Copies of this chain bind each other. A is one copy, B any other.
Amino acid sequence: MTETADYPEDPRPDGWLSARELATARSRLPLLYVDAVPVRVDDSGDVVAVGLLLRVNGAGVMTRALVSGRVMYHERVRDALLRHLEKDLGPVALPQIPAAPQPFTVAEYFPTPGVTPYHDPRQHAVSLAYVVPVSGDCQPQQDALDLAWLTPEEACGEQVQVEMTGGHGYLLRQAMAHVGRLP
């Protein structure tokens, strides 16, 4: 699972975990995440482009990622989705958060590689995955260098897939299968 900063360290709302407490929980409990595949759609809802965040990881390697992040204590899943989309795509992205909580799939990121197609060396994270159309202007925020809009064919192509780590490339292909745009 590609790293996404979940929240600024300070100030932190009451009841959220300190960095140390989060580290302990990460080694003992599955953490609840959401993954969003941002898409552009035409009037008929057909996906015409997929938005991928471009980052440079700690090793100086370029990676591409979906929008991803933790669900906080006392936060609804739909509010977590909105928060992470606005955090990564900017305040005027106008994401269309799904009316129904049913995800298209559940991505299980294990610290041990190979248990599932997803992997997160830091933790066991279970992520509810949604395809989210965005209709507004998107600007990469914080640590992202760029937000690139690719066709489903480009996004599922070999070249882009190798730049996606932890199973995000796999999850993207599942999303494209779900919307009928798997190449």
Interface set of A (CB-CB < 8 Å, partner B): 15-17, 21, 24-25, 27-32, 39, 41, 43-47, 71-79, 81-82, 96-106, 108, 110-112, 115-117, 124, 126, 128, 131, 133, 170, 173-174, 177-180, 182
User: Is the Cβ of A179 less than 8 Å from the Cβ of B99?
Assistant: yes
CB within 8 A of A32: which of B46, B101, B126?
Answer: B126
Contact A16/B45 with A101-B105, A101-B106, A177-B182 known, Cβ cut-off 8 Å: no
Nearest B residue to A125 via CB reads B32
User: Is the Cβ of A106 less than 8 Å from the Cβ of B128?
Assistant: yes
| Alpha-carbon distance A63/B167, docked complex (angstroms) | 33
Chain A: interface secondary structure? loop
Q: How many copies does the complex hold?
A: 4
| Alpha-carbon distance A44/B16, docked complex (angstroms) | 21
Contact A44/B76 with A25-B29, A29-B25, A71-B126 known, Cβ cut-off 8 Å: yes
CB within 8 A of A174: which of B30, B46, B128, B177?
Answer: B177
User: Is the Cβ of B97 less than 8 Å from the Cβ of A96?
Assistant: no
User: Is the Cβ of B44 less than 8 Å from the Cβ of A82?
Assistant: yes
CB within 8 A of A44: which of B31, B97, B106, B174?
Answer: B97
Provide a sorted-by-A list of 25 A–B residue pairs whose CB atoms are within 8 angstroms: A16-B28, A21-B28, A25-B25, A27-B73, A29-B32, A29-B73, A46-B99, A47-B99, A73-B124, A74-B111, A74-B115, A96-B96, A99-B131, A100-B179, A101-B105, A101-B106, A101-B108, A101-B180, A102-B102, A102-B178, A103-B106, A105-B177, A106-B128, A117-B180, A174-B180
A91 CB to nearest chain B CB (Å): 11
14 additional contacts (CB under 8 A) given A74-B112, A100-B131, A101-B180: A16-B28, A17-B28, A27-B73, A30-B71, A44-B81, A77-B126, A100-B178, A102-B105, A105-B177, A116-B180, A117-B180, A170-B182, A177-B177, A177-B178
